[in-house]
Chains A and B, each alone.
Chain A
Amino acid sequence: MREYAPSDRDADAPVHCVDWEAIGLLRFIDLFGRSIPLYGICMATGILCASFLAAYSAKRYGLDVNSLIAIMAFAVGFGLIGAKVFYIVTVTGIGNFFAAISRGDFSDLVGSGLVYYGGLLFGMLGAYVGTRATHESVDDVCTAVVPAVPLGHAFGRLGCFCAGCCYGIPYDGPGSVVFPDLAPQAVVPVQLIEMACNLSLSAFLLLLRKKGFASGKGFLFLYLVLYGGIRFLLEFLRGDVVRGIWGIFSASQWVSLALMFASFAYLFAARRRSEEKLQGKR
């Protein structure tokens, strides 16, 4: 596998390898004389699209739209905190973080990165707090909101692709991309693969909900099982160095396994309870 420097990418990069800058996906766009980052635009678009999808579903499932907006705001607020906490724990390290704070360096707190699983777990906690505060039903909120989560996440992954972070392992076959100033080799566009998986997952969950096959808390745990499986497999294609590796798996793979195990346990217990109820009625 050869390395591509920014200076020789036009001349020597293989023809089937897409040069990220050459196809016009820039990290920033100029608007009103200011450089606006596409990562931020994608993230804001994802949050808005997810909120619109959830609000559109709200009335159908007996939810007040204002309550749902408040619940989404709780979830996003807690989610941003969680994403930052997970980043500090898995990547920066708690010791390094407090050492930097004591030196007056706040770059890890207001800059650096975010971890999706931290956002998801704290976001669920935030949504629960919001649901309690607005006196809505947890089952109805889950049914309305769950398909919106992978939709918003898909835009986030598009943002990762634009920013050039979260890239894949070295690979120079068809469909590979070059991020010249971040990864010195052609890599797998794993961000786009995860985006496609998230969009498919959102469509699949919407279809399940429409057909009446899934609803309530079980719907949320079904999402966690499916996304956990997808993420566990896609982590093998990740090649970026700025993330936590614990033993044989990455931090995200351990979290995926824990979430899948817990979700399977819940779904199995729920199925058993419903079977016992049916037998009791007979």
Chain B
Amino acid sequence: MAIASLVLGIVSIVMSLFFSSTSWLGTVTGIIGIILGAMARKDPEKKGLATAGLVCSIIGFVLSIIIFVACIACVGGIAALGISSMF
């Protein structure tokens, strides 16, 4: 679980930094990475790796949600502009 969390966290960071169109995927991998990392931290032997995975996943999730919600705000704004101009 600790290794899976680290891998998902790194994938999440890469998705959020380099691929704006797939940032929603970074959000998904970030959340799964956080869950796996938090669960894995309960095992004292794998706590270091799990903490690294948890931190990477949190960073990836936060960056992804900023980009993902950016997209929502833009499209929502354009939609509102289109509809208000119709009335």
| A contact residues vs B (CB 8 Å cutoff) | 27-28, 36-37, 39-41, 43-44, 47-48, 64, 66-67, 69-70, 73-74, 76-77, 80, 107, 110-114, 130, 133-134, 159, 163-165, 181-184, 240-242
The answer to the question of B65 belonging to the interface, with a C-beta cut-off of 8 Å to chain A, is yes
| A111–B65 CB distance below 8 A | no
Minimum distance in angstroms from A116 CB to a CB of chain B: 13
Given A37-B66, A76-B31, A80-B27, A182:B84 Cβ within 8 A: yes
- Digitize B74-87: 1 where CB-to-A-CB distance is under 8 Å, 0 elsewhere: 11110111011001
Q: Which of B54, B65, B79 meets A40, CB within 8 Å?
A: B65
Q: Is the CB of A73 within 8 A of B35?
A: yes
Cβ of A165 and Cβ of B76 under 8 Å apart?
yes
A41: chain B residues within 8 A (beta carbon): 66
- A sample of 14 inter-chain contacts (CB < 8 A) reads A40-B66, A40-B68, A43-B65, A43-B66, A69-B54, A70-B35, A73-B38, A77-B28, A110-B71, A111-B71, A159-B73, A181-B77, A241-B83, A242-B80
Q: Which residue of A lies closest to B78 (CB)?
A: A111
Residues of A within 8 A of B72 (CB): 39, 111-114
Total interface residues on B, CB under 8 Å, equals 33
Q: Is the CB of A37 within 8 A of B74?
A: yes
Q: B87–A241 contact, CB under 8 A?
A: yes
Given contacts A73-B34, A134-B39, A242-B80, contact A43 B69 (CB under 8 A): yes
User: Which single member of B69, B81, B84, B87 contacts A37 (CB below 8 Å)?
Assistant: B69
Question: How far in angstroms is the closest Cβ of chain B from A165?
Answer: 5
| B residues whose Cβ falls under 8 Å from a Cβ of A | 21, 24, 27-28, 31-32, 34-35, 38-39, 41-42, 54, 62, 65-77, 79-81, 83-84, 87
Partner of A70, one of B34, B70, B84: B34
Q: Please give, as numbers and ranges, the residues of chain B lying within 8 Å of A134 by CB-CB distance.
A: 39
Q: Do residues A182 and B54 form an inter-chain contact, with CB atoms below 8 A? A: no
The reply to whether A64 and B42 form a contact with Cβ atoms under 8 Å apart is yes
When A and B form their complex, what is the total count of cross-chain residue pairs whose Cβ atoms lie within 8 Å?
107
Residues from chain A with a CB closer than 8 A to the CB of B83 are 241-242
Question: Could you tell me if A66 and B38 are in contact, using CB atoms closer than 8 angstroms?
Answer: yes
- Chain B residue with minimal CB distance to A165? B76
With the chains together, A41 CA to B39 CA distance in Å? 27
The list of the 6 closest CB pairs from A to B, nearest first, reads: A111-B75, A40-B66, A37-B70, A40-B69, A39-B73, A69-B38
Residues of A contacting B27 in the complex (Cβ-Cβ under 8 angstroms)? 80
Least CB distance from A179 to B in Å reads 9
B66 A73 Cβ-Cβ under 8 A: no
User: Looking across the interface, which residue of chain A has its beta carbon closest to that of B67?
Assistant: A40
Across-interface contacts of B80 in A (CB, < 8 A): 164-165, 182, 240-242
Contact A107 B81 (CB under 8 A): no
Residues of A within 8 A of B68 (CB): 40, 110
- In angstroms, how far is the closest chain A Cβ from the Cβ of B4? 14
Q: How far is the CB of B52 from chain A (nearest CB, A)?
A: 14
A42 to chain B: closest residue by CB? B69
Query: Which A residues are CB-close (under 8 A) to B73?
Result: 27, 37, 39-40, 159, 163, 165
> Is the beta-carbon distance between A74 and B77 smaller than 8 angstroms?
no
* A163→B74 CA distance, assembly (Å): 8
Evaluate whether A113 and B38 lie within 8 angstroms (CB atoms) in the complex, with A39-B69, A44-B66, A73-B31 already known. no
